[in-house]
Amino acid sequence: GENVEQHPSTLSVQEGDSAVIKCTYSDSASNYFPWYKQELGKRPQLIIDIRSNVGEKKDQRIAVTLNKTAKHFSLHITETQPEDSAVYFCAASITGYALNFGKGTSLLVTP
Amino acid sequence: EAGVAQSPRYKIIEKRQSVAFWCNPISGHATLYWYQQILGQGPKLLIQFQNNGVVDDSQLPKDRFSAERLKGVDSTLKIQPAKLEDSAVYLCASSLVLGGNTIYFGEGSWLTVV
């Protein structure tokens, strides 16, 4: 089955800096790659997603890039703010099947 | 729009006891998922339903876990008997159609087995 690796497991940045989280996947048939943000004790919430026919997608301060050849995708957060502090999960799936999640990255943005 | 509803939110039981969790997906969502999230890890799929049929239950420990989705709406996940390693958050999620659409999660049911 699909295996999703996520790095780093923890990330600390200064407010205003950029943060990058990277994921790799094993199944070349995967074609949907969402990112979820989970605050302590809360539900995971979708922040951005990308499909395999697109190389990059941006939404305000958040962007995701996908390299199908290398089977990796990344989340980029620019101008980080304290409220960006949370655990971020990447996931991969094949259309019609459930999401396979990475182990998560705990992001801390310090003022 | 109402979200995915789950209950109970918190449950503490002794090992070998049983527990049941209930989920009501977003209205009109045909696909329902149960995920297990152990502290410090990403969610792991237990079972996926499309309407009232099972799409994938390959990671469900069937000797102790069972789930049903009668009438294709609400779902119940049961654990009997519980083990210490079942301590986790059980997340229910739903999506409009099978695959590719946004998956919405509930707040989760926190289980502690002592």
Which residue in A has a C-alpha nearest to residue B32's C-alpha? A98
Residue B11 has pLDDT above 90, yes or no: yes
Buried residues in A56-91 as b, exposed as e (16+ CB within 10 A): eeeeeebbbbbeeeeebbbbbbeebeeebbbbbbbb
Give the SS3 label for residue B86: helix
- B24/B3 Cα distance (integer angstroms): 9
Compute the average pLDDT of residues B93-105: 81
A102 vs B42, B91, B100: nearest CB: B42
**pLDDT value for A64:** 97
Residues facing A63 on adjacent strands: A58, A76
The Cα-based distances of A47 to A36, B56, B99 in angstroms read 6, 26, 18
Cα–chain-centroid distance for residue B28?
18
- Phi, psi (degrees; rounded to nearest 5) at A60: 60, -115
| Residue A56 near residue A67, CB atoms below 8 Å | no
pLDDT digits (tens, 9 = 90+) for A68-100: 999 999 999 999 999 999 999 999 998 777 899
Q: If contacts are CB pairs under 8 Å, which of residues 69-108 in chain A contact chain B?
A: 89, 91, 93-104
CA distance B107 to chain A (A): 5
Which of A30, A32, A43, A94 would you mutate first to test chain B, the one with the most B CBs within 10 A?
A43
pLDDT digits (tens, 9 = 90+) for A14-46: 999 999 999 999 999 999 999 999 999 899 999
Residue contact A100–B107, C-beta within 8 A = no
Q: Which residues of A touch B55 (CB under 8 A)?
A: 97-98
